[in-house]
Amino acid sequence: MPRVSALLVTILAAMSAFGPLATDMYLPAFPAITAGLVTDPAAVQTTIATFFAGMAIAQLVFGPLADRFGRRPPLLVGLAIFVLGSIGCALTGNIGWFTLWRFIQGLGGCAGMVMARAIVRDISEGPATIRLMSRLMLVVTLAPILAPSIGSLLLGLGGWRAIFWALAVYGAGLAAVVTRILPETLTPERRRRDSLGGILLVYARMLGNRQFMGLTLAGVLPMAGMFAYIAGSPFVFMELHQIPPAHYGFYFGANAVGIMAVSQLNAWLSTRMAPERVLLIGLVSMTTAGVALAILANSGSFIGVALPLFVYVASIGMVMPIASALAMGLQGRTAGSASALIGTLQFGGGAVAGAIVGALHDGTALPMAVVIALAGTGGLLSRLILVR
pTM here is 0.73
pLDDT of residue 56: 84
Residues in the chain predicted with pLDDT less than 50, given as ranges, are none
Is the Cβ–Cβ distance between 363 and 357 less than 8 Å?
no
CA distances from 150 to 25, 142, 168, 258, 341 (A): 6, 12, 15, 21, 31
Is the Cβ–Cβ distance between 322 and 216 less than 8 Å?
no
For 274, residues 6+ apart whose C-beta sits below 8 A from its C-beta are: none
Strand locations in the chain (E): none
Give all domains of the chain, ordered by start, each with its CATH number. 1-193 (1.20.1250.20), 194-388 (1.20.1250.20)
Distance, in Å, from the CA atom of 368 to the CA atom of 80, rounded to the nearest integer, reads 37
Between CA 303 and CA 371, with CA 256 as vertex, the angle to 5 degrees is 60
pLDDT of residue 320: 84
Nearest to residue 162, comparing CAs of 89, 96, 104? 89
> What's the pLDDT tens digit per position in 179-231?
999 888 887 777 777 676 777 888 888 888 899 999 999 999 998 898 788 76
Is the Cβ–Cβ distance between 377 and 312 less than 8 Å?
no
Is the Cβ–Cβ distance between 220 and 346 less than 8 Å?
yes
* Position 334, amino acid: T
Distance, in Å, from the CA atom of 358 to the CA atom of 188, rounded to the nearest integer, reads 47
pLDDT of residue 271: 76
For 148, residues 6+ apart whose C-beta sits below 8 A from its C-beta are: 24, 25, 27, 28, 249
Q: What is the DSSP letter of 190?
A: G
Backbone CA torsion sign across 128, 131, 133, 139: negative
pLDDT of residue 356: 81
Between CA 110 and CA 118, with CA 114 as vertex, the angle to 5 degrees is 170
pLDDT of residue 327: 87
